[in-house]
Amino acid sequence: MSFFAIQKGSDTHKKNAGLRKAAYFSGVLLSFFLSGCGMQSGRDLVPPADHSYLATERDTVTVEKGTVSVAYEHPISLSGYREQEYRIPEGKLAEMESAYDIKLGSVNITLGDHVKTGDVLVSFQSDELDKKLRESRQNKKLALLKLEHIENLSRIDPVADHTEQIRLLQNECKVADLYISDIQSVYSSFNIVAESEGLISEINPALESGFIPAGKILFKVIDDDGYYIMKAAPGEDPLPAFTPGEHYTAKGHLMDYEVEVIAPPQGQEEDKDAVFFRPVTEKQEFHEENLVLVGKEEKRDNVCHVLREAVIEKEDGQYVYVKREDGQFQGVKVKPGIRIGDDVEILEGLSGGEQVALP
């Protein structure tokens, strides 16, 4: 079943004015099943053990019936959504600090950045390692200069034997290369490198301020196929018709977005029960896996509706507790329909005008 959200006030919706206190009584409230839109006498009572209700004063709300203005809503989800979390375990951070006095070097990302596999996202720095790295590079540079000098001497005096000098200098170059490689490996093991391509969707404020919160998520990288999918859940009505090129608003937890209906992407052509949308809003603003598409507004007449919080979920269905003439309450099984703002449509069980208890 697709959801609806109220866009305009109902002509008869007076739920706030309908609030009143329910009578206090002792014992367990009896409940009964009732189907159809409207209450009838002579129904069997629901066993108290199955649908008990605390005997205490309760606020009530009026069940309304009238014309409401609603808009079609339906969830859409990013295809191929993937999320990668990056963090440094406490033990590793302690090892870095004690072994090499490692400190945070630079944070090379900002929210919304697109990163590629292998990019250095966070780097670290150690005065000790940097000193060894400079010395090793300088030793190699000096050894290469000496080898070049010997090569020039050999041109002047081809008979002179410089074999041992060359061997020693070549060894110096190898040792320097080993030191350089080891230091780079240490940095590589500490630096945070992108494991996959994607978008920076979240950054820990501590990291942005130059601190490493050990064990905590430092940032997240998300990736997806670039489009959203709408599908009807089993038992729901078929999806309405959508035309490629149409634009709609899609609501998220962070903000509202704009999406466009597109033709089925490659590999999705055979899915006849799905509709596809691409983000129109700039890509870096998309950080949400699930959105709710809002369709065009329409009016509906004779809609019976009540506050959603008045409908209580039981093991065998959904119920409201209707106030009887004697001030007590009976459980009425209802069949909810679409959502209407803070209310929900009641397809069966109520007819409008009843007083029902709030939790």
- Tell me what pLDDT residue 56 has: 56
Structural domain spans, the chain: 1-81+225-359, 83-220
Which residues does residue 64 pair with via DSSP β-bridges, in sequence order? Answer: 305
Residues in the chain: 359
* Element spanning 261, H or E: strand 256-262
pLDDT digits (tens, 9 = 90+) for 314-346: 888 999 999 988 888 889 999 998 778 788 899
Q: What is the pTM of this model?
A: 0.51
Instruction: Record the tokens describing residue 69, joined without a space.
Output: 């203005």
Would you put residue 245 in left (φ > 0), alpha (ψ -120 to 50) or beta?
A: left
Instruction: Record the tokens describing residue 314, joined without a space.
Output: 């039981």
Regarding the domain delimited by 1-81+225-359, which CATH topology (the fold level of the hierarchy) does it fall under?
A: 2.40.420
- Tell me what pLDDT residue 97 has: 80
Whether pLDDT at 16 is above 60:
no
How far is 100 from 310, CA to CA, in rounded Å? 62
* Element spanning 331, H or E: strand 329-340
- Tell me what pLDDT residue 54 has: 45
Note whether 170 and 177 are within 8 A (CB): no
Say how many Å lie between the first and final Cα of the chain, rounded. Answer: 25
User: Which residues lie below 8 Å from residue 16, measured CB to CB, with a gap of 6+?
Assistant: none
How far is 93 from 312, CA to CA, in rounded Å? 50
- Tell me what pLDDT residue 31 has: 34
- Tell me what pLDDT residue 283 has: 58
pLDDT digits (tens, 9 = 90+) for 32-59: 333 334 443 333 333 333 444 544 578 8
The 3-state secondary structure of 179-231 reads: HHHHHHHHHHHHCEECCCCEEEEEECHHHHCCCCCCCCEEEEEEECCCCEEEE
